[in-house]
Structure 1
Amino acid sequence: MTSQLIKCIGLLSLLMASPVVSADKQNVIVIMADDLGYADVGCYGCKDIPTPNIDQLAAEGVRFTSAYVTGNMCGPSRAGFLTGRHQSTFGYYQNVSQPFDPAQGLPRIKTIASLLQQQGYVTGGVGKWHMGTADTQHPNAMGFDDWFGFLGGGLMYFPLDHPSYNGRFNPLKKPANHRDLQHTMPVIHNKKPVKWDQYLTRELTDAGVAFVERNQEQPFFLFMSYNAPHLDLEAPAETIAKFPEGAMTKVPGVKSSARSIYGAMVYEMDQGIGNLLAKVAELGLDEETVVWFLSDHGGMKRTSDNRPLRGSKGNSYEGGLRVPMIVKWPGVTPAGAVLDSPVTSLDIGATLIANAGGDREAEGLQGEDLRGYLSGQDTEAPHQVLYWHTGSYSAPAGAMREGDFKLLHGKEKLELYNLNDDVGETTNLAAAQPEKVQAMLTRWREWAKGAKPELWKKSRGSFQYADYEWLKGSQHYRAKTE
Structure 2
Amino acid sequence: MSMGTFHKTGRIPNLIRQALASLLILAPALSAAKPPNIIIFLADDLGYGDLGCYGHPIIQTPHLDSLANEGVRLTDCHSAGTVCSPSRAGLLTGRTPYRSGFYSIAGQPRGSHLLKEEITLPTLLKQKGYDTCFVGKWHLGKFTGQPDPGAHGFDHWFATEVNAFDGPESPSKFVRNGDKVGEVSQWYCDAIVKEAIDWMAARPDPEKPFFLLVSYHEPHTPILPPESYSKRYDNPRTDTLESAIDYGQVHRPLGRPIEENKKYYYGTVTQLDDSVGRLLESLEAQGKTEESIVVFTSDNGPETPVTFEESGNQWEDPIRDRCFGTPGPWHGMKRYVLEGGHRVPGIVRWPGEIEAGSISKELVNGTDWLPTFCHAVGVDAPSDRIIDGVNALPALKGREVERPIPACWMYPANYDSRYLPNMAMRDGDQVLIGWFAPKGDKQATSEWIRSTKLERFTLYDLGIDRSQAYELNDKLPDELKRMKSKMNTLWSSIQKEAPDWAN
**Which bin holds the TM-score, normalised by the shorter protein?**
0.7 to 0.9
Cα gap change, 1:62 to 1:83, in 2 (>3 Å) = same
- Which position in structure 2 is the counterpart of 1:209? 197
| SS, match of residue 29 in structure 1 | strand
| SS, match of residue 292 in structure 1 | strand
Q: C-alpha separation between the residues in 1 aligned to 2:380 and 2:120?
A: 14
1:327 to 348, 354, 360: 348
2:327 touches 2:343 (CA, 8 Å); kept in 1? no
1:39 touches 1:307 (CA, 8 Å); kept in 2? yes
1:113 touches 1:143 (CA, 8 Å); kept in 2? yes
1:443 to 478, 486, 502: 486
1:230 to 217, 220, 223: 220
- Which position in structure 1 is the counterpart of 2:153? 143
- Which position in structure 1 is the counterpart of 2:17? none
Cα gap change, 1:75 to 1:124, in 2 (>3 Å) = same
Report the count of equivalent residues. 409
1:113 to 111, 122, 126: 122
2:123 touches 2:154 (CA, 8 Å); kept in 1? yes
Q: How far is the alpha carbon of 1:23 from its aligned partner?
A: 4.2
Give structure 1 regions of 4+ aligned residues with deviation exceeding 6 angstroms: none
- Which position in structure 1 is the counterpart of 2:186? 198
* Stretch moving more, 251-260 or 185-194: 251-260
Q: How far is the alpha carbon of 1:380 from its aligned partner?
A: 2.6
Q: How far is the alpha carbon of 1:227 from its aligned partner?
A: 1.1
| SS, match of residue 232 in structure 2 | coil
Amino acid at match of 1:159: S
| SS, match of residue 94 in structure 1 | coil
Q: How far is the alpha carbon of 1:391 from its aligned partner?
A: 6.0
Q: How far is the alpha carbon of 1:242 from its aligned partner?
A: 1.2
1:135 touches 1:141 (CA, 8 Å); kept in 2? no
Q: C-alpha separation between the residues in 1 aligned to 2:407 and 2:170?
A: 41
- Which position in structure 2 is the counterpart of 1:18? none
2:429 to 404, 415, 424: 404
Cα gap change, 1:284 to 1:124, in 2 (>3 Å) = same
* TM-score between both structures, scaled by the size of structure 1: 0.80
- Which position in structure 2 is the counterpart of 1:344? 365
1:239 to 229, 245, 265: 229
Q: C-alpha separation between the residues in 1 aligned to 2:428 and 2:484?
A: 15
Taking the TM superposition and a 5 Å limit, the aligned residue runs for 1:7-406 are 22-97=32-107, 103-108=111-116, 109-133=118-142, 134-155=144-165, 156-159=167-170, 186-194=173-181, 195-215=183-203, 216-244=206-234, 246=236, 247-248=238-239, 249-250=242-243, 251=245, 252=247, 253=251, 255-302=258-305, 303-360=324-381, 362=383, 364=385, 365-375=387-397, 379-383=399-403, 385-390=406-411, 397-406=422-431
Deviations 1:298-344 (A, max 9, x none): 11123211120000001111000111101001111001110001111
Deviations 1:108-161 (A, max 9, x none): 11111111112210100110000001444211111110001211244420236x
Name structure 1 gaps, 5 residues minimum.
1-20, 161-184, 461-482
Name structure 2 gaps, 5 residues minimum.
1-30, 253-257, 306-323, 437-454
Cα gap change, 1:153 to 1:83, in 2 (>3 Å) = farther
Q: C-alpha separation between the residues in 1 aligned to 2:384 and 2:210?
A: 20
Deviations 1:12-71 (A, max 9, x none): xxxxxxxxx954211110000000011101111011111011111110000111111221
2:48 touches 2:301 (CA, 8 Å); kept in 1? yes
Deviations 1:359-406 (A, max 9, x none): 125264332222334346xx333437422343659x994111111111
Q: How far is the alpha carbon of 1:245 from its aligned partner?
A: 5.5
- Aligned residues: CA RMSD: 2.3
Deviations 1:52-97 (A, max 9, x none): 1111111000011111122111111111111111112222211124
2:363 touches 2:395 (CA, 8 Å); kept in 1? no
| SS, match of residue 67 in structure 1 | coil
| SS, match of residue 203 in structure 1 | helix
Amino acid at match of 2:478: E
Q: C-alpha separation between the residues in 2 aligned to 1:363 and 1:48?
A: 48
| SS, match of residue 438 in structure 1 | helix
- Which position in structure 2 is the counterpart of 1:464? none
- Which position in structure 2 is the counterpart of 1:420? 463
* Stretch moving more, 228-237 or 434-443: 434-443
Task: Give identity over the alignment, percent.
Answer: 32
Amino acid at match of 2:147: Q
| SS, match of residue 66 in structure 1 | coil
Amino acid at match of 2:141: G
Deviations 1:245-264 (A, max 9, x none): 64152235553333210111
Amino acid at match of 1:288: E
| SS, match of residue 69 in structure 1 | coil
Q: How far is the alpha carbon of 1:415 from its aligned partner?
A: 1.7
Q: How far is the alpha carbon of 1:296 from its aligned partner?
A: 0.5
- Which position in structure 2 is the counterpart of 1:4? none
| SS, match of residue 445 in structure 1 | helix
1:350 touches 1:366 (CA, 8 Å); kept in 2? no
Q: C-alpha separation between the residues in 2 aligned to 1:328 and 1:400?
A: 28
Q: C-alpha separation between the residues in 1 aligned to 2:394 and 2:486?
A: 28
| SS, match of residue 233 in structure 2 | coil
Q: How far is the alpha carbon of 1:436 from its aligned partner?
A: 1.9
2:80 touches 2:342 (CA, 8 Å); kept in 1? yes
| SS, match of residue 345 in structure 2 | strand
1:36 touches 1:295 (CA, 8 Å); kept in 2? yes
Q: How far is the alpha carbon of 1:197 from its aligned partner?
A: 0.8
* Stretch moving more, 269-278 or 409-418: 409-418
* Stretch moving more, 249-258 or 27-36: 249-258
Q: C-alpha separation between the residues in 1 aligned to 2:480 and 2:261?
A: 39
Cα gap change, 1:37 to 1:391, in 2 (>3 Å) = closer
2:119 touches 2:382 (CA, 8 Å); kept in 1? no
- Which position in structure 2 is the counterpart of 1:174? none
* TM-score between both structures, scaled by the size of structure 2: 0.77
Amino acid at match of 1:345: G
1:332 touches 1:371 (CA, 8 Å); kept in 2? no
